[in-house]
């Protein structure tokens, strides 16, 4: 039967920057009023100016503002909001915050807390997907608490093996063991990182894939049992497990594999009763794909999926939260063309990608056919050291991969950003690199094959 229909008239966006602006744009198109929240550092930020009203939630430090659940709930109550959208990052995957909102008078615009619990613990997620028949990397079905179990696993599957934080993601809490002499040290390091980043020191073990591609599938479900996939994205251009360039469709998989991969993702989350937007991530190597994890939230790179399908993923989140059915059937999802997303970070690629906070003295993003810019800044704004260094995202769409590469170069060269260093020179270098142009890159591409930048 699904959830009863609810009315969302005003949403508090519990986030900042470009994702807050993006959520507000979708809300406005649906006739929903918007409330921004801001810290001391963000009083005049773009997302604050974009909203219908705004509420101050604390100091510049994130754990005293954007991560302060009490302040966010108070802001929602004081502004008369009837829904809360978490965006991504900050509290977007906080099971405790989702449950707190669900137990209140507010509507939670995101995956249910139970789904976050199920998929937040990686061993539990692996078990769910295995039960649904989704291929998983050989590994332990429960956390390991003894280095000897890691050695026993390696005896069966061989080295290298990966020790992973059970509550982890984004490469944090991941340690690679290449021989028995490394087991004790990497086991301790993985547990420490799990405790530090996720308040959970449990770890599990998987066979380590040496040179995979990172493929993910956008899924979305409603509360009436409908789950759709919106095809895949290739996120193999990574630095230290952090994505930098994403594209869709993946240039490396054939149509038969694509259909099998996307249906596996859809069926896996459907088996778990998933609702709202989410991403099922896979590793792909030697013609085989293996489940990696589920991200129970909207993703940074949802933009390229929207660009090729024409489906507004954030609007669908609002519809689902309001108890409506999805607005499209699976048969209506027909991707057209190719899209790439370039994350423009305030970082210096000539200096180990160190952050470069400062004032945007000039900010003129690219324009023209096939260009979408999602950002959270205006010219004259200050990029602060308190939060993520993302300035914005350049999304480029074209008929085929050759054209999207040409258009991407034009867009990146056209952009004018002064006052801070950005990752634009890095992106331009990648677009000239024969490995990337030839679609031969994997997740190890930047660390092993890319020659880097010449600042001479």
At 284, give phi and psi (nearest 5°). Answer: -130, 125
Separation in Å, CA 359 to CA 20, 346, 380, 416, 417: 21, 10, 6, 14, 10
pLDDT at position 455 is: 60
How is the beta sheet containing 276-285 ordered, strand by strand?
Answer: 288-295, 276-285, 213-221, 227-239, 242-248, 338-345, 390-398, 371-375
- Residue 138: pLDDT band by 50, 70, 90 thresholds? confident
Q: Are strands 276-285 and 213-221 parallel, antiparallel or unpaired?
A: antiparallel
**Token pair 């609810």 in the structure block, residue:** 6
pTM score of the predicted model: 0.91
Look at 344 and 2; give whichever has higher pLDDT: 344
Q: Is the pLDDT score of 170 beyond 80?
A: no
Q: What integer best gives the mean pLDDT of the chain?
A: 94
Q: Would you say 205 and 140 are in contact if contact means Cβ atoms under 8 Å apart?
A: yes
pLDDT at position 456 is: 47
Tokens of 261: 């991969």
- The predicted-structure confidence for 8-36, as pLDDT tens digits, reads as follows 999 999 999 999 999 999 999 999 999 99
Separation in Å, CA 220 to CA 128, 142, 197: 17, 28, 27
Three-state DSSP at 137 gives: coil
Average pLDDT value for residue range 345-363: 95
Average pLDDT value for residue range 131-139: 90
C-alpha closest to that of 51 among 83, 80, 21, 14: 21
Report how far Cα 35 is from the mean position of its chain's Cα atoms: 23
Q: Would you say 388 and 300 are in contact if contact means Cβ atoms under 8 Å apart?
A: no
C-alpha closest to that of 254 among 289, 218, 209: 289
Q: Would you say 342 and 391 are in contact if contact means Cβ atoms under 8 Å apart?
A: no
Length of the chain: 456
Return d(Cα 392, Cα 16) in angstroms, integer.
Answer: 12
Q: Is the pLDDT score of 323 beyond 90?
A: yes
pLDDT at position 102 is: 98
Q: Where are the beta strands (DSSP E) in 361-413?
A: 362-364, 371-375, 382-383, 390-398
pLDDT at position 137 is: 87
- Residue 230: pLDDT band by 50, 70, 90 thresholds? very high
- Residue 147: pLDDT band by 50, 70, 90 thresholds? very high
Return d(Cα 105, Cα 432) in angstroms, integer.
Answer: 53
Average pLDDT value for residue range 272-284: 96
Q: Is the pLDDT score of 275 beyond 70?
A: yes
**Token pair 């915050």 in the structure block, residue:** 97
- Residue 197: pLDDT band by 50, 70, 90 thresholds? confident
Query: Which DSSP helix (H) or strand (E) runs through 284?
Result: strand 276-285
| Domains of the chain in sequence order | 10-109 (3.40.50.20), 138-207 (3.30.1490.20), 213-449 (3.30.470.20)
Q: Is the pLDDT score of 4 beyond 90?
A: no
Return d(Cα 354, Cα 347) in angstroms, integer.
Answer: 5
Return d(Cα 445, Cα 49) in angstroms, integer.
Answer: 40
Q: Is the pLDDT score of 2 beyond 80?
A: no
Look at 384 and 451; give whichever has higher pLDDT: 384
Q: Is the pLDDT score of 169 beyond 70?
A: no
- Residue 454: pLDDT band by 50, 70, 90 thresholds? low
Helices (H), 280-381: 302-309, 313-321
Q: Is the pLDDT score of 453 beyond 80?
A: no
Q: Is the pLDDT score of 291 beyond 70?
A: yes
């Amino acid at each position: 039967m699904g959830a009863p229909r609810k009315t969302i008239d005003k949403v508090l966006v519990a986030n900042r920057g470009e994702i807050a602006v993006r959520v507000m744009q979708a809300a406005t198109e649906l006739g929903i009023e918007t409330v921004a929240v801001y810290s001391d550092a963000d009083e005049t930020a773009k997302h604050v100016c974009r909203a219908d009203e705004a509420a101050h939630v604390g100091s510049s430090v994130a754990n005293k503002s954007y991560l302060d659940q009490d302040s966010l709930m108070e802001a929602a109550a004081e502004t008369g909001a009837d829904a809360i959208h978490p965006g991504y990052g900050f509290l977007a995957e906080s099971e405790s915050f989702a449950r707190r909102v669900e137990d209140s008078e507010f509507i939670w615009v995101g995956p249910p807390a139970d789904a976050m619990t199920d998929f937040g613990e990686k061993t539990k997620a692996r078990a769910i997907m295995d039960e649904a028949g989704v291929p998983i990397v050989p590994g332990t079905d429960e956390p390991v608490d003894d280095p000897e179990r890691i050695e026993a696993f390696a005896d069966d599957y061989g080295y290298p093996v990966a020790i992973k934080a059970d509550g982890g993601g984004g490469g944090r809490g991941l340690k690679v063991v290449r021989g028995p002499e490394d087991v004790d040290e990497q086991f301790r390091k993985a547990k420490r990182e799990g405790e530090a980043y996720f308040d959970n020191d449990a770890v599990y073990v998987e066979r380590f894939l040496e040179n995979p591609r990172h493929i993910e599938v956008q899924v979305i479900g409603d509360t009436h049992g409908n789950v759709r996939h919106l095809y895949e994205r290739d996120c193999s251009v990574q630095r230290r497990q952090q994505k930098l360039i994403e594209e869709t469709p993946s240039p490396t998989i054939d149509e038969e594999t694509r259909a099998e991969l996307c249906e596996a993702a859809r069926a896996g989350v459907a088996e778990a009763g998933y609702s709202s937007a989410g991403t099922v991530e896979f590793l792909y190597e030697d013609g085989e794909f293996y489940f990696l994890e589920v991200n129970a939230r909207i993703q940074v790179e949802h933009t390229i999926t929207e660009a090729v399908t024409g489906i507004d993923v954030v609007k669908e989140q609002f519809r689902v939260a309001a108890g409506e059915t999805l607005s499209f059937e699976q048969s209506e999802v027909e991707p057209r063309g190719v899209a790439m997303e370039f994350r423009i970070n305030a970082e210096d690629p000539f200096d180990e990608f160190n952050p470069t906070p400062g004032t945007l003295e000039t900010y003129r993003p690219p324009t023209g056919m096939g260009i979408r810019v999602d950002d959270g800044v205006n010219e004259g704004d200050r990029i602060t050291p308190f939060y993520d260094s993302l300035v914005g995202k350049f999304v480029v769409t074209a008929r085929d991969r050759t054209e999207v590469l040409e258009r991407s170069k034009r867009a990146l060269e056209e952009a004018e950003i002064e006052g801070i260093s950005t990752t634009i020179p890095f992106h331009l270098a990648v677009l000239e690199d024969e490995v990337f142009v030839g679609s031969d890159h994997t997740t190890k591409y930047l660390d092993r094959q890319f020659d880097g930048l010449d600042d001479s």
